[in-house]
Structure 1
Amino acid sequence: MKDNYLIRLEDLVNNPTPRVPICLCLDTSGSMAAVEGACETTGETIYQDGRTWNVATGGIRRVDELQKGVEKFYEAIREDEVAVYSAEICIVTFDSKATCVMDFANLDRQEKIPQLRPTGDTAMGEGVTLALDLLKKRKQEYKDKGVDYYQPWLVLMTDGVPNGNPEQLNRAINRTRKMVDERKLTVFPIGIGNESDMSVLDKFSPGRKALKLQGMKFQEFFAWLSKSVSKTSQSMPGESIKLDVEGIKGWAEL
């Protein structure tokens, strides 16, 4: 089997279409096992991800709905005859550590999306740092092969309060803001549930406030995101693209 780095380079040679690099930076901390909907508490509690939770049975887990949303996102991109050749998706998860679970490559070459499993704390700074590093690396590969690309996208989704290294978090915030200000990055910070720290997410997004997901509308968000990717892939690199603000009402609390 070929090394992933060689596969990525081969993709750029075989398909010189301008690319839209997208990194999904997803919270997989223990709190993402929280359930919503029809559930019953057992009377037991558990301490996880920096706080005490009531143990419940039934309901729908946040992480399971997130998984379905990501899978729908991939399906929608694959069904778009333009975006399928332009979009490149990378998935970074963060819990007690940051992990790249799906690296950049042509979507046809990427394997099945790994199962997202909630565990540990919320090392958000470490997650964003890894995401930015991977976007930077992929951009350099585009440049080396003479492939045009659109402004990279960072989708940051979390349901909690960051409790990783505070210095790492501050560096990640400053680095993200600088890239956004220099028009080198488009960032979408999304809060999940009532425990998400929207004030921290706002810091990642100068000029546009972070948004909170309505309930468990992960699939609605990723449907909107796929349409935004499709619209971008049909434009010229460097062209200003207006987001579908009206469509945001279908999944975000405004």
Structure 2
Amino acid sequence: MNGIPGLEAQLEENTSQRTPCILVLDASSSMDGKRIQSLNDGLMAFEEALKADPVARNRVAVSIVCIGRDNLAQVMTPWTDAMHFQAPTIYANGSTPLGAGARLALSELESYKASLRNMGIPYTRPWVLIVSDGEPTDADWEDAAEEMRTAAVDKKAIVFPLAVEGASTEKLAAFNAPGKGVLRLHGLAFRELFVWLSASVSSASQAAAGTKMQIEAPRMITIET
């Protein structure tokens, strides 16, 4: 993150409406090998697509929460405008504290929205993408899932739980509003996933705050309810 302006400096320099997008990424031991390589390739594609989009680079803000390393949830990328976003390299080890990751994402979202409000900068509904290939391992994950589900129901966030092969869709669905289901990724199409995500958040960033959007899943994803 060297050379990237701090959050306050970014908000002072760029007062455009923002669409916050936070990624909660499973980096547990089971993601090692081709999965983590494909995930990192996808993050690079996400960076490239956002920066190439003249609207998204100014209006989309990105943060990344990583779960697994040292069995913790950690902020890998603090909030940054897409023009400054640098895809981190994720390494796989540890367990899957998905509840802790969800709670951290919600906390980061509230903090960022407060910063936007303090600067008088409007924002659209935030996006939360939760990617996992397994099951939550933290004891209180169900409480955290309820907090995320409530945020989705109350329209405080658009939540996309995404199941990599082997993931429990039943448990991932607990993080979303009832009836919304889980996205199922076919194979290791992370690059295509993140290109779609970039295009979708770019469209959202051009909409007026409060506007309802119709979001279609790309071909490499099915929706399981």
Does the 8 Å contact 2:59/2:82 carry over to 1? no
Matched residue pairs, number? Answer: 220
Q: What does residue 178 of structure 1 align with?
A: 150
Structure 2 residue aligned with 1:90, among 63, 66, 77? 63
Shift of 1:250: 1.1
Shift of 1:3: 11
Shift of 1:105: 1.7
Question: Does 2:131 match 1:131?
Answer: no
Measured against aligned partners, the alpha-carbon deviations of 1:172-195 in whole angstroms (never above 9, x if no partner) come to: 1111111111111100100001x2
Pairwise mapping of residues 184-195 of structure 1 onto structure 2 (< 5 A)?
Answer: 184-193=156-165, 195=166
Q: Give 2:219's aligned amino acid.
A: G
Normalising by structure 1, we get a TM-score of 0.82
Q: Give 1:93's aligned amino acid.
A: C
Question: Does 2:38 match 1:65?
Answer: yes
Measured against aligned partners, the alpha-carbon deviations of 1:105-140 in whole angstroms (never above 9, x if no partner) come to: 223334x42211000111111111111111110000
Normalising by structure 2, we get a TM-score of 0.92
Q: Give 1:163's aligned amino acid.
A: T
Q: What does residue 219 of structure 2 align with?
A: 250
Q: Give 2:180's aligned amino acid.
A: R
Measured against aligned partners, the alpha-carbon deviations of 1:38-58 in whole angstroms (never above 9, x if no partner) come to: xxxxxxxxxxxxxxxxxxxxx
Q: What does residue 143 of structure 1 align with?
A: 117
| Distance of 1:202 and 1:109 partners within structure 2 | 32
Structure 2 residue aligned with 1:199, among 166, 170, 189? 170
Structure 1 residue aligned with 2:80, among 90, 96, 105? 105
| Structure ranking higher in strand proportion | 1
Measured against aligned partners, the alpha-carbon deviations of 1:216-248 in whole angstroms (never above 9, x if no partner) come to: 1111111111111111112111111111x2xx2
Shift of 1:171: 2.0
Shift of 1:12: 1.2
- Structure 2 gap ranges (5+): none
Instruction: Tell me the secondary structure at the aligned position of residue 115 of structure 1.
Output: coil
Does the 8 Å contact 2:148/2:175 carry over to 1? yes
Q: What does residue 88 of structure 2 align with?
A: 114
Question: Does 2:182 match 1:210?
Answer: yes
Instruction: Tell me the secondary structure at the aligned position of residue 105 of structure 1.
Output: strand
The structure-2 alpha-carbon separation of the partners of 1:13 and 1:123, relative to structure 1 and needing over 3 Å to count, comes to: same
Instruction: Tell me the secondary structure at the aligned position of residue 104 of structure 1.
Output: strand
Question: Does 2:122 match 1:153?
Answer: no
Identity of aligned residues (%): 29
Does the 8 Å contact 1:220/1:250 carry over to 2? no
Q: Give 1:13's aligned amino acid.
A: E
Q: What does residue 16 of structure 2 align with?
A: 17
Q: Give 2:137's aligned amino acid.
A: N
| Distance of 2:21 and 2:82 partners within structure 1 | 12
| Distance of 1:23 and 1:213 partners within structure 2 | 18
